[in-house]
Amino acid sequence: MHRCGWADQPSFRDADAAAAYELLGGHREPYRRNLLDYSGGSADHARTIATRPALRRTVEVPAPAQPAPVRIAVIGADNYGGRILIPAFAASGAKLQAISSWGGLSAAHYGKKFGFREATTNVGRLFGAADVEALVVCTRHDTHADYVCSALAARMDIFVETPLTLPLGELGAIERAWHAATPLGRAPLPMVGFNRRFAPSCGGCGHYSTRCACSSRRAFPTSATNRAARSW
């Protein structure tokens, strides 16, 4: 404690130091000295005070990025492709880039109907095209294997309807093409469709198979003759 020696001097605790200095500087009272009492404090007088109000800031949090639609090209423009496959891909949000057919007439028809960017007879342009990420094949059965191998060599994902191939040797060629493309980065994804997957007869076969716990091979003959419109 520091004392000035005047009996009538005001005494202030250290917490009220601001009032003591205001009293001296304001000349409202006849005091020249004030007494500051530090006796009630601790040895450590370090303090931090706020000198201005805290700033409030609003930060806009961006929404999670949505995946970009897959850009696809369709090879083949038959009835099944135009009635089933293309509408399914369009409904899934795929970006329809190009459609190809041998003569070009059916490709132009479905290209305009579904809003493809282009229709072409140049199938080779689609393999490795910068604006195409995946291919859809719905051509004659004997062409499937060649198109699949070409797509894998270009490291493109590909959807092909059944059958994947006809001769067993072509299956080996597809396997080798896939293994050759895999070490170069992300392995391309080949997918084989099955256009009777939703047929009631196939559903019935699957239900029958699950009822038997034994492992066996079964054949389910079906009729391809005229059936009721809703039987498939």
Q: Tell me the DSSP string of 40-57.
A: TS-S-------SSPPP--
Chunked in runs of 10, what are the mean pLDDT values of the chain (232 residues)? Answer: 50 62 61 58 55 67 80 93 92 94 92 94 93 94 95 94 89 93 84 76 71 65 66 56
Amino acid at site 8: D
Angle at 90 between CA 88 and CA 93, to 5 degrees: 110
Tokens of 114: 């579904």
Instruction: Give the domains, in start order, of the chain with CATH numbers.
Output: 1-38 (no CATH), 71-192 (3.40.50.720)
Alpha-carbon distances of 18 from 3, 47, 194, rounded to whole Å:
18, 15, 87
- Alpha carbon distance 151, 175 (integer Å): 12
- Alpha carbon distance 19, 12 (integer Å): 8
- Alpha carbon distance 142, 182 (integer Å): 25
- Alpha carbon distance 131, 113 (integer Å): 20
Sheet with 95-100, strands from edge to edge, namely 118-120, 95-100, 71-75, 134-137, 157-160, 190-192
| pTM metric for this prediction | 0.60
- Supply the pLDDT for residue 131: 92
- Supply the pLDDT for residue 7: 47
- Supply the pLDDT for residue 229: 67
Residue 206 CA from chain centroid, whole number? 33
- Ranges assigned E (strand) in 48-174: 71-75, 95-100, 118-120, 134-137, 157-160
The strand pairing partners of 72, in sequence order, are 96, 134
Amino acid at site 46: A
- Cβ contacts of 92 within 8 Å, gap of 6 or more: none
